[in-house]
Homo-oligomer: A and B are copies of this chain.
């Protein structure tokens, strides 16, 4: 066994990120280097889970700064933040639904070019 600490390359591999991205996360304090072995970073294994969370949160539109706040806030303020974000995500999903049906609508019309089609504005046929 290689000790349970992970190198930056191992972290990168396990989460599907580049080494430089992981280094960046470290630099901005999103993750923490547990210790160094002759200058090289060694991470706690649970960093993998943390970074995976980061990636999922990013996909949902959170900035790295927001994610940092949510993950590490110890004052309890994160609950409020998460609540606000949830509202935002619900709105986002609603808009996404609108967009989806609108696109589906546009796609199923007979128009040659979308710019000339009114389905992207009104619900009536072209």
Q: In the complex where A56-B99, A99-B59, A102-B56 touch, is A107 in contact with B89 (Cβ < 8 A)? A: no
Residue interface mask A70-87, B partner, CB < 8 A = 1:
111110101100110110
> How many copies of this chain does the complex contain?
2
Min C-beta distance of A112 to chain B, whole Å? 6
Q: Which residue of B lies closest to A91 (CB)?
A: B59
Q: Which residue of B lies closest to A120 (CB)?
A: B53
Q: Which of A75-126 contact B (CB under 8 A)?
A: 76, 78-79, 82-83, 85-86, 89-90, 92-93, 95-100, 102-104, 106-107, 112-115, 118, 120-121
A52 contacts chain B at the CB level, 8 A cutoff: yes
Determine the chain B residues whose CB is within 8 A of the CB of A70 once the complex forms.
Answer: 114
Give the B-binding residues of A (Cβ under 8 A): 49-50, 52-53, 56-57, 59-60, 70-74, 76, 78-79, 82-83, 85-86, 89-90, 92-93, 95-100, 102-104, 106-107, 112-115, 118, 120-121
